[in-house]
Amino acid sequence: MCGIVGFTGTKQAAPVLLDGLSKLEYRGYDSAGIAVRDGESETEIIKEKGKLKNLQEMTDNGKAVKGCCGIGHTRWATHGEPSALNAHPHSSDDGNVIAVHNGIIENYQELREKLMKHGYVFHTQTDTEVAVKLIDYYYKKYAPLPIEAIARSMVRIRGSYALCVMFKDYPGEIYCARKDSPMIIGVSGEDTFVASDVPAILKYTRNVYYIGNMEIAKLEQGKATFFTIDSEEIQKPLTEIKWDAKSADKGNFEHFMLKEIYEQPNVIRETIDSVVKDGKISFDTINLTDEEMQQIEQVYIVACGSAYHVGVDLQYVMESLTSLQVRVELASEFRYRKMTLNKKSIVIVISQSGETADTLEALRSAKNQGIKTLGIVNVVGSSIAREADNVFYTQAGPEIAVATTKAYSTQLVAGYLLSLQFAKARNEIEECRYQALLEEIYTIPDKVERILEDKERLQWYSAKLINIGDAFFIGRGIDYAIGLEGSLKLKEISYIHSEAYAAGELKHGPISLIENGTLVISIATQDTLIEKTVSNMAEVKSRGAKLMAVTTAGNYFLEDTAEFTCYIPKIDPLFAGSLSVIPLQLLSYYVSIGKGFDADKPRNLAKSVTVE
């Protein structure tokens, strides 16, 4: 949720910190702060409620704050209201320890009471202040060694955290620790960086280390040293980030969301090319063999939010192509279910960041039962990527807008390829059908481009929807799965109440909500189900609904029922979701900006949900 940036090196730290934090604004926040130290002098802490621009104005974009070592933070309130007082960084009373923190400390009340008995006074409502003063307590109680103090604190803290800590006695150094909250460390010459996510430091370096769970790092100029919680030094490989730095900038687009919608043809193509060689799917890089696929009887797809909607679509695709039984589970429910998994199963977890807290815990739960796991993720070196038995990396690049578009589309096409290869490996598809479907997948990027070329009609129609109060998405089969995603997009960035229903369920309750002017968006791309869907459209129209339809080119008879019809190019119905979702993304975007909202940063939402 929150964002962390740290820097120590030869440059002035404040401008680097503020620039890095600006690249993390998409994560969601309500306040921001920095702490900068100039050699042996006292550390200057500046923090303020509201947008990062307040901090930039207070510091003349960092020029007014001198020093080459510092940490910064954008806070998304959990414990304590949004305020300058509760904003990070936090400090011990004497300024001995200063820190920023992502995550939630579950036993902070217990620790707070312990520390108060030892004379500590608390000035904020945050759990982070407890962590700061706990580190200070152990630093002063035992030998004044930062690694030792942090390690002892980690043993006592329950919950998730990414911590960046500065000590008064160690100028020019930053100490980091993490548990279940993402953090990367980058180096470039004499400069060393730490951040919650790649975009914050991509401008400065592509060479990064991934700090593992329950590990500690010591950052110095141009150097990072890693330790276990037992204070034993460990070696880490340096990894090169392949993302293009330009992909983390808006370019000529008004919003990241629109830019990312337009990047979809390219990233879908790159995801396909990553595993398709010479007209065949090769999972050598994923490390999942045909023999292993043959042994699997049950597939569990586990995810949250849009990634869960990918799973709903893939359930239809995979069950159509194979004899596999497929279940789709919300990660937040799956991790607490008391159920025995089929030992001959595979758990596929889907997460853009690879750090989604519930999805990560679901993965660990499956592994604890000895079940094979596969992660579909976008971030190399993320927790899910490191812990899953097999990894399918999507090629979406950095996705900045909170509402996912290109990550969703690459996850979907990754799932198509996975489903098709399962069918091939299990001898459940004829070679001619396999090749035909693979060729259809290859056509998806070009067909997405064709839909994007027709955006003016959607932009025109969206202007008519700005004042609607309620919207419903209906569809059957794969169309229902796409309706779930279209509904989520509309509600999360335009704040319009929206729900998605399987069209056949209308008479089981939802139709009672239809009245004059209610928007109903029907997705109708499945040839065998389209007549039934049209009947459902007629039912809601007769009750006064305003009807929009998304369908395949050639189904012009829908215009007799729908007020506005959007056509997608013809494609095998199994893969229609990759096309029908595009107009729904555009529609949601145009409604959002038509209402005057920031489509990139919807209220109360964060890009990566790393806490429960």
Tokens in use for 337? Answer: 């279910």
* Pairwise CA distance, residues 296 & 294, whole Å: 6
Residues of the chain with pLDDT under 70: 1, 27-28, 79, 244-248, 604, 606-612
Strand-pairing partners, residue 228, are 215
Tokens in use for 27? Answer: 């994560």
Half-sphere exposure of 134 (CA within 13 A, CB side): 24
Task: For residue 417, count other CB atoms closer than 10 A to its CB.
Answer: 21
CB 564 within 8 A of CB 406: no
Question: Is 455-594 CATH 3.40.50.2000?
Answer: no
CATH topology of domain 3-241: Glutamine Phosphoribosylpyrophosphate, subunit 1, domain 1 (3.60.20)
- Nearest Cα neighbor of 569 from 557, 578, 556, 579 is 579
Start-end of CATH 3.60.20.10 domains in the chain: 3-241
Start-end of CATH 3.40.50.10490 domains in the chain: 248-452, 455-594
Radius of gyration of the chain (CA): 25
H/E segment holding residue 413: helix 406-425
Q: Per residue in 266-293, pLDDT tens?
A: 999 999 999 998 889 999 889 899 999 9
**What's the confidence (pLDDT) of residue 17?**
95
- Looking at domain 248-452, its CATH class is alpha beta
**What's the confidence (pLDDT) of residue 607?**
56
CB-based contacts of 327, cutoff 8 Å, min separation 6? 298, 299, 300, 301, 315
pTM for the predicted model, two decimal places = 0.83
Q: What residues are annotated to the active site?
A: 2, 607
> Order of strands, edge to edge, in the sheet holding 519-524?
497-502, 470-475, 519-524, 546-552, 564-568
Task: For residue 320, count other CB atoms closer than 10 A to its CB.
Answer: 13
Burial class of residue 190 (count of CB atoms within 10 Å of its CB; 0-12, 13-18, 19+) = middle
* Pairwise CA distance, residues 5 & 36, whole Å: 12
